[in-house]
A and B are shown apart, each in its own frame.
Chain A
């Protein structure tokens, strides 16, 4: 997996969690705000209705919601005199939707000329399931938009930012220590990449130097060994040709010769190694 895709993947996962948590918090905060606003409205309406009853006493007996959004009922002090205001959610049959819908209801008790009246004011409320559904749709939308922008950001901005890094990787992939090329990193303002480039340059140069030194050593050592080996082998061969050597002596000399031959073989293998490298050099130089 590419580095950029990797970060995108993590962003995507993180966003799912973040947006889910955020959705819950946002939902409750919004609902709270809605209730607050509804309750204020109800309170205000209650005040208006109570004011109205002062001039119009017939309003004091209205026990049906009907077209009004409220009911007023006379109650006994004993039962409801200490009653405070309360806000509740309840269901009410809606003509237009032909089903029960949630409403917000304010119940309160007020005193008028020694009598106590209970007043209920209702207002229709947001439908919670609709609300959640809407919220979910918008959040998925938000998620997709965020994800798209992150991918775009990665591809356009990050790619540009990481360019020196990818250049370096590309060069490293093509780098062959025996071909003697060197790494030419892209100039960059980013401190870390600068450091990386520097380190890679230093490292490749060092490896290259020790490779060359080692190769030269092998080559020189193998070459220098050739002459003493030749002298030793030839001296023994001359010795063998002298008459008068006994059978055991001849065989001893033969054994020494065999071992010298083995040494010569090893040496030849070393030379072959260094020669192979040399050939590679000339071959590559010729194609440039």
Chain B
């Protein structure tokens, strides 16, 4: 699976490249408008992470370029400029998602995973993990013989953990993803714990082979 990261800040680029490479994606990078334009023209990517403010041009112009070329690469705009105008324009131009900086690595994985899943496994729309089958479209989770009923939050947590399987997901990242941007105003993340507890209990009751483990009070990890 090939991913192109277009980002002018070297350290930011490095972080994103490192974390995605660990997910065994093939990662290419471009640090300015011209390089990015060349790469877009020459190759096809499964997913492009696109920064809007670039030396030598605007990321949105690259998006237009992409459209003109008739390519259907999945595009996630990654921008420090989280304005509604930019967001709407980006999505209007055919971007699949908009990820404002700063973001958690787990969030990046989840978004990339969602895009690549949508594009590459159209025939196989189920996620299989351990003895569970998740249907993202209908938001259902099944074991071999029964369906496990989760509430919305529990389902969102599970899917997020699955997208980041075997990686440490911090409580902050989890809270922001599942409860939305404004939950981070809360001073403690105790409310996550009760949801995780329910989730674990339901998984254990259904005899699932996956397990959510706590990591030193910092976050959680999903083991297969």
Contacts and interface: CB of A to CB of B under 8 A. Distances in A.
Nearest to B185: A265
A226 B219 contact: no
Contact of B83 (A251, A254, A275): A275
A227 B106 CA distance: 17
A227 to B, nearest CB: 5
Interface in B151-188: 167-168, 170, 172-173, 181, 184-185
Contact of A257 (B11, B100, B170, B181): B170
B181 A223 contact: no
A251 B15 contact: no
B172 A227 contact: no
A237 B80 contact: no
B102 A229 contact: yes
Contacts of B16: 234
Contacts of B168: 237, 240-241
Nearest to A279: B84
B101 A229 contact: yes
Of A231, A235, A238, most B-chain CB atoms within 10 Å: A231
B105 A254 contact: no
Given A229-B101, A235-B15, A251-B216, A257 B172 contact: yes
Contact of B104 (A226, A233, A253, A254): A233
A203 B41 CA distance: 54
B18 A238 contact: yes
A268 B181 contact: yes
B15 A250 contact: no
A240 B15 contact: no
A37 interface: no
Contacts of A282: 85
Given A240-B170, A254-B170, A271-B82, A231 B9 contact: yes
Contacts of B11: 231, 235
Grouping DSSP codes into helix (H, G, I), strand (E, B) and loop, the A interface class, with mixed when no group exceeds half, is: helix
Contacts, number: 89
Contacts of A257: 170, 172, 218
A158 interface: no
A258 interface: yes
A2 interface: no
A185 B101 CA distance: 46
Q: How large is the interface on A (under 10, 10 to 19, 20 to 34, 35 or more residues)?
A: 20 to 34
B70 interface: no
Contacts of B215: 240, 250
Contacts of B15: 231, 234-235, 238
A231 B10 CA distance: 10
A222 to B, nearest CB: 9
B123 interface: no
A278 interface: yes
Contacts of A247: 216
Given A229-B102, A231-B9, A250 B83 contact: no
Interface string A61-89: 00000000000000000000000000000
A227 B217 contact: no
Nearest to B103: A230
Contacts of B181: 268
B32 to A, nearest CB: 16
Given A234-B19, A254-B216, A226 B102 contact: yes
A261 B15 CA distance: 17
Given A231-B12, A240-B168, 15 more contacts: A226-B101, A227-B101, A227-B102, A234-B12, A234-B19, A234-B105, A237-B19, A237-B170, A241-B167, A251-B216, A251-B218, A254-B217, A257-B172, A264-B102, A275-B84
9 contacts: A226-B82, A234-B15, A238-B18, A240-B215, A241-B168, A247-B216, A250-B216, A254-B170, A268-B82
Interface of A: 223-224, 226-227, 229-231, 233-235, 237-238, 240-241, 247, 250-251, 253-254, 257-258, 261, 264-265, 268, 271, 275, 278-279, 282
